[in-house]
Structures are given as structure tokens and as C-alpha cells.
Amino acid sequence: MRRLFPLPVPPAPSAPAPGATGEPGPDPAADREWTLDELADAYAYPAADDPVRSGRPGWLRANMVSSLDGAAHHGGRSHPLSGDADMRIFGVLRALADAVVVGAETVRLEGYRPARARAAFAARRAAAGQGPAPAIAVVTAGLGLDFTLPLFTEPLVPTVVLTGAGAPQERVRAACAAGAEVLFAGEGLGVDPARVAEVLAARGHTRLLTEGGPRLLAQFGAAGALDELCLSLAPVVAAGDAQRIMDGPGVAVPERFALVSVLEESGFLFTRYRRT
Ligand SMILES: NC(=O)c1ccc[n+]([C@@H]2O[C@H](COP(=O)([O-])OP(=O)(O)OC[C@H]3O[C@@H](n4cnc5c(N)ncnc54)[C@H](OP(=O)(O)O)[C@@H]3O)[C@@H](O)[C@H]2O)c1
């Protein structure tokens, strides 16, 4: 992993202070394997009192992978676009989150399972007052989900179902019976994307990570609800007619995001952009 931006590179947080041992610390811009701690430091969420939070109830970060030509999946799966380094960052971003917000179609197509506890992040999560793993929060209007799956029956922390007040009552009952926590973030059938952060923050989930899919992410984007986009650009051409990372309603004026950092490994660019 190499840091391409920002430069000049600040000292790595986990490195010994230069001069302390008479030896310079490891250069975080160098082409070497970064530790999980270094990656976690690099992707830390802004603190609650950080001015970039500007009073918002939580921080909604998205993590998506795209091919060079803009495809968000190949054959209905994102895995063909991904790689080892991408999966490492995917895991770090999960490990930093209180909740992973994901559209029901991604849950169905990608076979979502509960997030797992990872020893490498246990101390960091405990120090941050987080449970052993993030909750998976499934956004759905119809609740056409298989509640007998491990996602609902075996999570370390209860899986959340985010829906609207008009969702089918018997499906809501089935979700609750399976152990899911049902939260309402909309008055109609579906979820109001602008209310998701507030509703999850009320349950103590303020460090939010959305893993899409494109139809859900487009709604967060159009509602001005997205604070940060971690976009992995995969060095592959997929062609075809797959969705891009946002697939849905547009905005009247494209919203400007600021580049925070760029890492590189094996031809992948791991970009991080923040709302301005
Ligand atoms: N490249 C990447 O990083 C990446 C990431 C994730 C997924 N993907 C790919 O994206 C594809 C799936 O994405 P997708 O865009 O088709 O679907 P999606 O956004 O994952 O899920 C769409 C579903 O989410 C629910 N939903 C969305 N907005 C809602 C709202 N406002 N209120 C209530 N429910 C809402 C609905 O579920 P119900 O039908 O249950 O009501 C809807 O059918 C897969 O091929 C997957 O591999 C790629």
C-alpha cells in the first residue's frame, strides 16, 4: 500500500517518533504492507466535535468499488471487481463502524451474513465504546427477506431492519420474531434517506457505513445525506451495462466533494472524498 495523497506525508501514528530511537520511523508513503492499525488510523471517523460534522447526528460514509469504466458489479456481484487490498480496506471500514447500512437487494444477491468480531480490532472497538462488531442495518420496504438466515438468527449484535411506517405488518412481526430490531425511518412504505442517520443515532449508532447498493446509495446522494465516499477504483474494464455506484434520482446541481486521501495497491486506487 502506498499513500499518493496527501503529501507531504505526516508521521504514521503507530510509528515511533522520528529520532526517538535514533532511527527514522517507517515511511507510510512507502510501498509496503500497512498494518491494520495504520489503516484504521487513516480511516478514523471524525470525532463528534469535529467541525466537519457540523451538528449532524452521525457520519454516513459509503464504501463502494467501481471498475475503470464505472461498473458497480459484474454479473450481479461486486466480488469480480474487488481484490485482496480492497477486501482489507472493506474489513477495516466495517471494523470502524457502529452500523453497516445496506439495501435489501445487495443483502439478497450478495448473501449477507452478520458482521464478525475480529481480534485485531477488539481493543480499538472497546476503547471507542463499540460492541464487538457492527450491526447490519438492512433498508427495505417490502421486508421480502429470509428471516431464517444467519443474518437474523446468529448475529453478534441484533440485525436492524430499517423500513417505513407503512411496511407490511406481518413481515414486521416476522422480523421481530426472528430477533431483528425494526426501526422506522419514514412515514410511507419506504425509508426517507434523509432520516436514516438520525434514526440510527437515536439507537447509539453514529459511525455509519453504507455498502450500497447503487439504488440505495443514489438516494443518500440525492438527499444530501452522504458525508463521505470511499471509492475503490479497480484496475479492470467490465464493459456491459451494469449499474454505476449510484443508480437513481439525480440532483439539480452536482454536489462537490473534497479529496481527503488516495492510497494505491496493485493498481487499485483507494480514494476518500468528503462533502465540502
Ligand atoms: N460495487 C459495489 O461496491 C457494490 C456495493 C453493493 C452492491 N453492489 C451490487 O449492486 C447490486 C444490488 O444493488 P441495487 O442497487 O440493485 O439494490 P440495493 O440498493 O442494494 O437494494 C435495493 C433495495 O433496497 C430497498 N430500498 C432501497 N431504497 C429504499 C427506501 N428508500 N426505502 C425502503 N427500502 C429501500 C428495497 O428493498 P425491498 O425490495 O426489500 O423493499 C430495494 O429493492 C448487486 O449486483 C451488488 O453486487 C455493488
d(C-alpha 167, C-alpha 163), whole Å: 7
Question: Residues lining ligand 1, CB < 6 A?
Answer: 64-65, 72-73, 76-78, 103-106, 109-110, 139-142, 144, 190-191, 193, 211-216, 219, 243, 245, 247
Q: Tell me the one-letter amino acid at 11.
A: P
State the pLDDT at residue 22.
46
Q: What residues pair up with 183 in beta bridges, in sequence order?
A: 162
- The residues spanned by each domain of the chain are 58-275
Q: From ligand 1's centre to the CA of 14, what distance in Å?
A: 37
> How far, in Å, is the centroid of ligand 1 from the Cα of 182?
18
- The whole-number pLDDT of residue 19 equals 47
Separation of CA 18 and ligand 1 centre (Å) = 47
- Please report the pLDDT score of residue 13 as a whole number: 56
| pLDDT at residue 10, rounded to an integer | 58
Query: 32 near 26, Cβ under 8 Å?
Result: yes
Q: Choose among 25, 105, 119, 39: nearest CA to 72.
A: 105
Mapped onto helix, strand or coil, the DSSP state of residue 263 is: strand
What is the Cα–Cα distance from 226 to 239, expressed in whole angstroms?
27
Tens-digit pLDDT string for the chain (276 aa): 999 999 766 555 555 545 444 455 556 566 888 999 999 999 999 998 999 988 899 999 999 999 999 999 999 999 999 999 999 999 999 999 999 999 999 999 999 999 999 999 999 999 999 999 999 999 999 999 999 999 999 999 999 999 999 999 999 999 999 999 999 999 999 999 999 999 999 999 999 999 999 999 999 999 999 999 999 999 999 999 999 999 998 999 999 999 999 999 999 999 999 999
- Side-chain-side CA neighbours of residue 267 (13 Å): 10
* Residue 172, CA distances (Å) to 10, 99, 136, 161 in order: 49, 20, 17, 9
* CATH fold for the domain made of 58-275: Dihydrofolate Reductase, subunit A (3.40.430)
Reported in sequence order, the residue ranges of 9-143 that DSSP labels E, i.e. its strands, are 59-66, 99-103, 135-139
Report pLDDT for 54: 84
Rg (CA), the chain: 19
